Amino acid sequence: MAMTTSLEAKHSLDGLIDLECYPIDNLDSQAGRELIDSCRRQLDEDGCVVLKNFVPEEALSRLERETERLSPEAHYNQTETNPYNSAGDPALPASHPLNRFDDRTNGFVAGDRIDGDTIIRQVYEHPGFQRFIAAVVGMEEIHRYADPLADLVVNVLREGCQHPWHYDTNEFIVTMMTRQSHGGGRFEYAPGIRSPEGENFAEVEKVLDGDRTRLKSLDLQPGDLQVFFGRYSLHRVTPVEGDKERHTVIFAYAKEPGFIGRPERAQRIFGRMAPIHEKLLKEGMNRSDSLAD
């Protein structure tokens, strides 16, 4: 306990997070409990919670400069993909979600390019922030990724870039907007459209056909924190418009320690693999559910 307290004192969240509005440093207080309850209600309602102005105004310019400095390190990739990042199935109709492909063009800065002096790395690794996220998603504890590339990532979208309809590999995702584009770049999602018990292809097909009945849309701004159950909610980022890049930080946590992303995914997203990915490529790996991605 003394070591944890010392670590938290050394890497204080004061000035990096608006602790007056979001007392994550004192979750046992009445204000802390009310914050957790509010977040959980929003997650229960639609699988997403957004904490506006999570980073205080005085830290926003530093936050934006960090991702601007890192953005040239992004590896860009362009591909045609379905919502499951998989091959199509010729035995199924062309209208089936497995056979619906769209352009995905975006860039990712890998975690091993993000040093410990950045706001985003200090927040990501802080035990207090980690406890807060665990409480929000209703878990006793969560763990930082053991994946050296995918633990902390900056998503960079230039003009024309988009992330089409897809699901996340992990059950929940934590992101922070650091720079908004001049236009486009809207986050849209269909909450809870699938579950571990089934893909619900019929409803997914409706979304792909343009039915917006189930959809929610977010107007995220720099400094906003988002917690999202992206494993079960189909979602996308619409094409970016204008010459100002859209930057979003992805804080990756898992339910179990030692989580490593798929080697082929690392190669595609970052243009390279770490030694651990090469090892897994030889040994093979399993997922804890049977969903398509």
pLDDT of 7: 43
β partners of residue 78: 105
pLDDT in tens, 76-100: 999 999 999 899 999 999 999 999 9
CATH top-level class of 21-282: mainly beta
- Comparing 109-118, 168-177, 182-191, which segment has the lowest mean pLDDT? 168-177
Q: Is 125 left (phi over 0), alpha (psi -120 to 50) or beta?
A: alpha
Q: 60: pLDDT confidence band, cut at 50, 70 and 90?
A: very high
Q: 147: pLDDT confidence band, cut at 50, 70 and 90?
A: very high
pLDDT in tens, 61-78: 999 999 999 999 999 999
The rounded distance, in Å, linking the Cα atoms of 161 and 103 is 9
pTM (two decimals): 0.88
Q: Is 218 exposed, middle or buried (0-12, 13-18, 19+ CB in 10 A)?
A: middle
- Residues 228 and 189: beta-carbon distance below 8 Å: yes
pLDDT, the chain, mean:
92
**Beta-sheet pairing, 246-251 with 216-218:** unpaired
pLDDT of 271: 93
* Mean pLDDT confidence for 136-158: 96
Q: Is 144 exposed, middle or buried (0-12, 13-18, 19+ CB in 10 A)?
A: middle
Q: 170: pLDDT confidence band, cut at 50, 70 and 90?
A: confident
The rounded distance, in Å, linking the Cα atoms of 19 and 36 is 14
Q: 171: pLDDT confidence band, cut at 50, 70 and 90?
A: confident
The share of the chain scoring above pLDDT 90, in percent, equals 84
Q: What are phi and psi of 283, to 5 degrees?
A: -90, -25
CA Rg value for the chain: 19
pLDDT of 155: 97
- Residues 20 and 32: beta-carbon distance below 8 Å: no
Domain ranges of the chain: 21-282
pLDDT of 177: 96
pLDDT of 292: 60
pLDDT of 169: 78
Give the chain's end-to-end CA distance (angstroms, integer). Answer: 39
pLDDT at 4 over 60: no
